[in-house]
Amino acid sequence: QAIKASVVRQITEAKTLLSRSDDNSEALALIIDGKSLAYALEDDVKNLFLELAIGCASVICCRSSPKQKALVTRLVKMRPGSTTLAIGDGANDVGMLQEADIGIGISGVEGMQAVMSSDIAIAQFRYLERLLLVHGHWCYRRISSMICYFFYKNITFGFTLFFYEMYTSFSGQAAYN
């Protein structure tokens, strides 16, 4: 109980520090270990922890279990309008990768479990920047042009049927088999 009270006290102190630093435009980072994270993820404390984590520029969870990684991802994912991206390289990251909206697995020394359970696989961590900035931009362009083609196809198909029905005096004859 004393440890939990200490964790809650530190979270509330950090939130007040965060609210004061908004005026100074300082970027703050949060570092939390697995033992403290276990208390921070309890039902009565997790909303405080989430508000603090979202207010920080970076959040680092060290020495945490695979279940804690998945719970942190789920906690952030429950926030409305949020999209989570998780990056992992080993078997201990599988739960986090599956819980995230987008999971990126890095193949390497720790095996292929993360790659097999992820949405996207890359060979090394240094390829992450290119994946997000270059391929992400290209994917956005492709999807937006596909949406335009979708509307064009449906409008063309609809007008074709309408003009065919006008030609057949709205007799109900099928234009396509």
CB 116 within 8 A of CB 93: no
135-159 pLDDT tens trace: 989 999 999 999 999 999 999 999 9
Q: Which residue has the higher pLDDT, 23 or 156?
A: 156
**Euclidean distance between CA atoms 128 and 106, whole angstroms:** 9
CB 117 within 8 A of CB 92: no
pLDDT band at 67, cuts 50/70/90?
Answer: very high
Q: What is the mean pLDDT of the chain?
A: 91
Token readout for 108 is 């390497």
* Residue 126: pLDDT over 90: yes
* Residue 177: pLDDT over 80: no
> What stretches of the chain adopt beta strand conformation (E)?
29-33, 58-62, 85-88, 102-106, 120-122
**Euclidean distance between CA atoms 98 and 66, whole angstroms:** 11
CB atoms within 10 A of CB 43: 6
The whole-number pLDDT of residue 23 equals: 63
For the entire predicted model, the pTM comes to: 0.76
Helix (H, G, I), strand (E, B) or coil at 91: helix
11-20 pLDDT tens trace: 999 999 888 8
87-123 pLDDT tens trace: 999 899 999 999 999 999 999 878 889 999 999 999 9
Helix (H, G, I), strand (E, B) or coil at 108: strand
The whole-number pLDDT of residue 153 equals: 97
Domains of the chain: which residue ranges? 1-64, 126-177
Q: Which residue has the higher pLDDT, 49 or 19?
A: 49
Token readout for 86 is 């998780």
pLDDT band at 56, cuts 50/70/90?
Answer: confident
